[in-house]
Structure formats: structure tokens, C-alpha cells
Amino acid sequence: MTTKKNHKMKRVISLLIMAFWPVFSFSQIKAQWELLENKFGENGFHKAQIILSNSSNSVIESGWKLYFNTIFISVNTRLNSEEMVLEHLQGDFFRIKGKEKSSPILPGESIVLTYRSSGPFLKNSYAPEGLILELQDGQVIEISDYQRQKLTVEELGEMAKETQLNFLAEENENPILNIPDSQIPPFLPIPKKWKYTGEVVRVKNAGLGVVGSPEFVEASTFLLNSIKKGYKPKVNREETPVTIRIQKRDGFSKEEYQMKLSGRVVEILASDPVGAFYGVQSFLAMMTPDFWQGESQELNLPQVEISDKPTFAYRGFFLDVARNFQSKKEILKILDLMAFYKLNVFHFNLANDEGWRIEIPGLPELTEFGSRRGFSPDEAEFLWPYYASGANPDQSSTGSGFYTMEDFKEIISYAKSLNIEVIPEIGVPAHSRAAILAMEKRYQKFMASGNSKDALEYRLADPEDTSIYLSAQNFRGNTICVCQESTYAFYEKVVSEIQKMYQSAGVELKTIHSGGDEVPRGVWTGSPICQEFLAKNPQIKQGELVDYFRERIDGILAKKGLEMAGWEEIGQSHQGNQVLPNPKFSDRNWRLHAWNAVAGWGGEDMAYRLANAGYPVVISPSSNFYFDLAYSWDPEERGHTWSGVADTYQTWKAVPMKLYLSHDQTLDGAAWDWEKAKANFTELTEKGKKNIIGVSGQLWTETVKGPEMMEYYLFPKMFGYVERAWNGDPEWSNLNSISEMEQARNQEWNVFVNLLLKRELPRLDFQFGGVKYRQPKEWKLAD
């Protein structure tokens, strides 16, 4: 615990290039954050302070306000001040101001703002950030000279010593033994069957030819183009050339392939183009890192025989670009990496409370307003700068941004060429604040010109709604009104325009992901429009409005030949305190992404209950497959901890068809008993097993700022998921006793880490322009 110190007032205000130029220089206003107290356990809390210091020659006049971002304090956090008050505005955006009018801060003086929040402080990145000072005259200044106290993992461990959490634990305490190359699989994901048949053949400056069956022209062309990028020989005609044959052979299942490297001859066999493509990717995966640098005159050809096919048909990766944006260039790079590791579904979250990221013809407000974040006192011209995305919307690379129609068509076309299906997510009815406000801008624009028809056509809000609610991400007014026809007109318009983009790009759109999660309690209870609707439709009850909405949008999608997907909530109902599969829609073929498998919360088997009830299920458990969870409890590691922490080991040791084996401890750090968990777990029926169609890994981006940070979050953590997506349950999970499983798990993990250290990570330094991965300091090879 740190102790409170006396401070002489100093203050730093940095400049925001907007309509006003403050009289203060960048170095004249300073801010400092310090942790004063940190309590774990029951009724845990933390106490901290922000110190603003004015080292300028000017007075900061009374009436100033301080804004900042953090999702890691309570919305009910209070200041220890008689003069000032801390207000929660929306989401992670807070404001400190005077109860009447804040006092001036004189030159050379400081003000100490002390607050107490429920919940302990866990990460150095959880401190308030994005400090913005609004002066009394309206000038806006971003505070750049801001120092934040940092905790060490030892200090945090000492603070939490009374709990069961082990902050010093590594992902696997067992040493990693160095094993010979002959025992290391050839690539990731590990092929179902593989056998080395001889020493590696090293080829230098040899010619190379690719011969493919007519059905496999795309795979042959892809391979030839890829080889040309990496292998640039000065051809020596005395060298025997390398021959690669990609041939069609009946009898293989979808996506299955065989490959044999014998001498300088490579043979890839498959029955369908996707299987041939994965055989090509497997051949490329055996190239050494210098190949990916693009200047290699040598090829190393492992002598190997491989038979391979995936366990799951659906192998997805979900990326949220609404909360923090990623450029088209980075999306294309992600698609390259997905295809290389044989993932085949890109679940693309394009809209949320904090941003709308796709151009929709006829609704320009969605991107003119909803895709831009910056600072204004009333959020009138753009969204607030959530997640400290910056006060100037024109200089906010993570807060502002969207994909034009041409951008999006390029993305889905490129994905198709890599055998990846892109499923867009437009989450409704909750998580919709950006769209709601954008359509309010549209309403105001048309009403100002006297055009009430167009003003009301796509309106999403009930302006008289007095419902009181707070969403899971602390937003108010983020749920669209489901009782008015304009809501359904809006949804159909958006879906129609997205479908047209697919058609224009020559790509089939099969599924729309509707989100559907985290509808706040209390929505629509104060809506006059909904009260009138319910009075006219007495067969529908207040608590059934969500089901009514889901049925309506399913009808819109069905009319367009599309299937609906959503998070697990769209297939659930509430009965008292219980959350159960909703039998009403179990025959609709709605694809559910089952995410809530937090160890110790009691819903760890929800995926199985939904599958048994008849829903197609994609296993997407937060505890294992949420890549935005921090790698460890080390306070220097960014990321969430609400579902625990997740490193490469945590993703790798997931057991999709026996989820009770996926944990070693609960969220609170208590031991997780596999035998007890199995006894309490819903067992998959034969029908249920067929309804588990695959798995998905997720990256939500509240704490992810920019492409380098995104890649750090993903790699190498994503490698564990890649293995599970292709190969399903690990071999160790099929053994009989706990001791046998634990021993075999350590042995399999040891091989996996050797594969990553010796094959996968060295390639990432150069592959697809280089990947900014996390170097696991805990992986040390022991002889």
C-alpha cells in the first residue's frame, strides 16, 4: 500500500488542435496519479488520487472541468471533496467539476483530487487516462504530461496475500525440456498424422515448377505467387528442379488433404479446392524464417508424410473494430494470418456503442457522426473519446474511422480468395448507442427542413422514454426502441445494403450476426411508445419484447435468404434467477456463440445445454478464448481480468467437448476439481454433439490501441486456440485418471512449446511484414 504524500501544486495542460488555442504551453500543466490504498477480498476497494499542477504564469480560472477515461472504476465512485464532484457520463468517460463552480488554480499551485472506488486495483493500465481539461472559457486542452504510479507484481501479490489468487504463478510451472527436431511436429496446427521419412533436403538455386489439376488452379496460383515472394534463386540448371504436384483424388472429406515430400518432389492430394489450399499452406508452413524475409536462394524440404483434416467445420476469429478501430491494411494482414493457420470464419464486429464502422448508402450520418470520436461537452458533433482515443476526431486513429463500401468489398473479396467467410455483426437491440445518436442527427436534420416523413423513417429512439438502466459497459440510452416500425426499417435497410456489397463483390452472404447480448434490465419500461404498443398487442408482455424483436429481425433475414447468428443470449430465457435455453426458438437454426463459461460462475456448461436444446453452437468461452484477457496477473500486462487471465497455455489446454477439463482454478483462484465439475456438468447428447459446429476466438478492443498492440494480444496466445480449432480435444483429455491426464498434458505442452519456439515464433519476425508478438519470458528450454 502506498501512503499519501504532501504535494506542492503543479499543473500540466497540453494542447488540443481544435477551434481554440489555449494560452498555456504543452509543459505548463501537469498531472499525476497515485494509488493510496488497495483492498482485496470481500468489499474490496481502492483509493487513489489525481494531482493537477499549474506551473504556468496564468491562472486557471474557476469553472474548469477535468474529463478522463477508465472502465476500471465504479460508476458510483465518489470524490473526497466538499467542493468537487465526480460524475459518470457514459461508458468509460468521467468528469470532475465543481459542485457549484470549481475554484481557480493559481500559478505554482496544485489541486489533489482523491477518490474511492469499489473493487481492487489490478493493472497499471487501469489508472485514469486520456485526461482532458475544459477551461472556463470553453478552451479544450489534452494533458500530455501525466505520470502514473506503477505497481510491481510483488507489490500486488503482497496486497492480495489474503486471497487465493497467485499473482506470481507462471502459465505452467513445469520446465520446458528441449527435445530433438525429429520429435517436433512439422507445423501448426499440428497435422492429424505426420511422419518424418528422412533428412531435410536442402536445395539451392534450383528451378521450381508447380503442376495442378484443373480444379485446383487457385491453390496452384496461390502457391506459385507465395513461393516467388520468398524464394529468389539464381537458377543453376545443373541442379535438379523442385516439382510440386497438386492433384485431385476422390475419397477425401471436405478440407482434408495428404502431402508427401520425397527428395525434391512434393505431392499434395485433396478432393476439394479448400483441402488443396490447406495442403499448400502446410507446405509453406515448413519453410524456414529466411524464406519469409523474401531473399532466400535456398529451400529446405523436410522429408515428411502428412494426412490431415480439421475436427471442426467452423473455426472462427472474432474481431471488434467498433470500440477501437483497425485499418483495412491491418484487417487484410489478419486475414493472411487466419488463412495460414487454417481458420475459416472472420466474425467482423462493425458497430457498437462506441462506433459505427461501415458505410451505409442512404444513411451518411452513421459514419459522419457515428464513426468519429472526439471531445465536445455535449457529444453534439461526434461521440465522446471513449477509451482515451483523443480529443481531436481528425487525429484519432483508434477512435475515428470506418470502411467505405469499396474497402469492405475489398476485404470480403480478399477473404473469399483465402477460403474465409466474413460474417458481419451489427449488434441489436443493445450495444447500439452510436447508431441511435446518428439517427437522432438524421431526425434533427430533416425536421429542421420540415420533412417529418424522412425524419421518422429510421429513428431508433423513443424521445419520451424515461427508462432507467445501465448496460454492462456502463452506457445509458444504448438500446433501440423495439416497439416502433422505424427500428425494423433501419435494420432492413442496413442488412440490404450490406447484402448488396457482397453481391457487388461476387461473394455470397450467408449469415448476419445480430449480437443480441447484454440487453439491460429496465429497458422500455418507461417508453410511451412501448406502452402504447403493448396496449394494442395484449398477447405480448413487457418481458417478451426481446423475443418479439428477435423474431422480427429473424423474419427480415429469412426474407433475404439469410441465417441469423447471435451471442448465447438470443437462445436463452430468464426464469426467476435461472438462465435457461429458450425452447421457443430452438428449431430456427439460429447459430449461438456460447461465451459465458467463466470458471466458478455456474454457467460453464451453457454451450452444452443450448446444443442439447437444438441450437447450433459455436464454443466461444471467455475463460479460454477471449484474447483481450491479460496474459498474466503481472500489473504491467495490459488486458481484462473479469474472466481471469488467459495466456497461451490457457488457450491451448481448452477441451471444447469436455469443457470441465478446461480449467485448473476458478476465477477467484480456488482449485477446480475435474471430477466434481464433471458430475455437475450437463452431458452432451448425441443430438447435442452434432450441434457443436465449431469454436471461435475473440478479441474485444476496449484496451487495444493500434495494430501493434492488437498483434501483441493475439500472438502467441492465439496459437493455443489455433491448435484447438483444428484438432479439437487434446489427446491427454481422453485418458482415464486425473494423474494420467496431468502427466500427458505436461508432455504434450512441452512438445507444443518446442514447436512454437523453434518453428512458429522465428517466422513471425518476418511473415506478412512481421508480427509484433509477445516474447514469453517464462518459456525457457531446459536440457
596 burial level (CB within 10 Å; 0-12, 13-18, 19+): buried
146: left (phi over 0), alpha (psi -120 to 50) or beta: beta
Could you give phi then psi for residue 16, rounded to 5 degrees? -110, 125
Closest by CA to 522, choosing from 486, 488, 475, 566, is: 475
User: Sign of dihedral through CA atoms 352, 356, 361, 364?
Assistant: positive
Name the grid cell of 80. 473526497
Handedness of CA 36, 40, 42, 44 (dihedral sign): positive
Q: What angle do CA 620, 626, 632 make, to 5 degrees?
A: 145
Cβ-based burial of 737 (10 A; exposed 0-12, middle 13-18, buried ≥19): exposed
Pairing of strands 563-567, 257-262: unpaired
DSSP state of 191: P
- Phi first, then psi, for residue 64 (nearest 5°) are -70, 155
Q: Return the active site residues.
A: 518
DSSP string, 195-258: EEEEEEEEEES--EEEEE-GGGHHHHHHHHHHHHHHB-----TTSPPEEEEEEE-TTPPTT-EE
663 and 672 in contact (C-beta within 8 Å)?
A: yes
Where are any strands of DSSP class E within 257-313?
257-262, 265-270, 298-308
Q: How far is CA 185 from CA 132, 196, 619, 712, 741, in A?
A: 52, 9, 26, 25, 21
| Cis peptide bond upstream of 520, omega within 30 | no
Closest CA to 77 of 101, 52, 48, 42: 48
